[in-house]
Amino acid sequence: MKQTKNMSWLNCIATGLLVYILTVPTHELFHALTDIIYGDKIKMFSAGAVDRWGTVDVTTLSPFNRIMLAGGSASIMNLIIAILLMIILIKCKKTGATLRVILIQLFGAQMATAVGYFFFGGLIGMGDWGNVFKALSDMPGLVSTLRIILIALGAILIVFTFFALNYFSYDFIHDPADKNERFSVAIRLHLTMFIMGLTVPCLVMIKSPILVDGSFSFFDILLWNMAWIVFFWGFMFTWVMVKHPKESRFKNDLPAKPNFVLFAISVVLICLDAFILGPGIFFEM
């Protein structure tokens, strides 16, 4: 009987594209929902940014509510989702191979979006957390404390994500001592996500309003995309940098049979993201 060609590369790219859609546009959706909850109105919704009309004066709100409305809610929600995904991955031992790949990649992407924003936002003061610091500008002591907390928490959780991705790699590795097998699994499971995290946003956001109006440059987008570097180190940790476990934790092979339906769905969603949300949807006051 002829052996089916191993198409795990294609499947991991397909799941990675799906994970991107479930992470970045939904991050912006959290911003939009927060604005609506606080009684503001959405001016523009795009693949990489949300703008509101500013009908709510943040200076009238408590510090916590200022943080939420000004931009902090989305990355906090990303972290909550990542924690829930990690619990599911640990507790649910018998998920299907494709679903487990999606859950692992989605965990890493949610962590990258959350704690990458914590670290870079606290360090550089750009993006969502830069907006938070502006909203708290009359409380300089709180801003300084918040920046220190974000930098420290972000750095700790970024490193934690390296180890967590390494740990989950062994769900797909038969022989932990086999360096070639570790490389084969890690490059598909993690490194493809790092490459997509760097490239897909740049393609999707070519006509983004924040690029058109000069608010951000491609360098800024690449800088924020570096948060996806957690997947690069997940790959490196599994391949050569961290001592492998003595006993196998194998649960499934990476799905080898090509899942063209999943790939088609992922490509369609990415195209919708690029051609509809990319240029932005604008709303009247």
Quick one: pLDDT band at residue 3, thresholds 50, 70, 90?
Answer: very low
CB 209 within 8 A of CB 250: no
| Proportion of the chain in helix, strand, coil states, percent, rounded to 5 | 70, 5, 25
Q: What residues contact 28, with CB distance under 8 A and at least 6 apart? A: 45, 46, 47, 48, 49, 50, 74
- Which of 54-58, 68-72, 76-80, 223-227 shows the lowest per-residue confidence on average (mean pLDDT)? 223-227
Give the pair of three-digit tokens for residue 8. 């795990």
Please state the domain extents for the chain: 8-282
Instruction: Provide the percentage of residues in the chain whose pLDDT is more than 90.
Output: 77
Q: What residues contact 119, with CB distance under 8 A and at least 6 apart? A: 150, 151, 154, 155, 158, 227
Quick one: pLDDT band at residue 127, thresholds 50, 70, 90?
Answer: confident
CA dihedral 223, 228, 233, 236 (to 10 degrees): -110
Quick one: pLDDT band at residue 58, thresholds 50, 70, 90?
Answer: confident
Which of residues 167 and 256 earns the better pLDDT score?
A: 167
3-state secondary structure 230-261: HHHHHHHHHHHHCCCCCCCCCCCCCCCCCCHH
Asked whether the predicted pLDDT for residue 267 surpasses 80, the reply is: yes
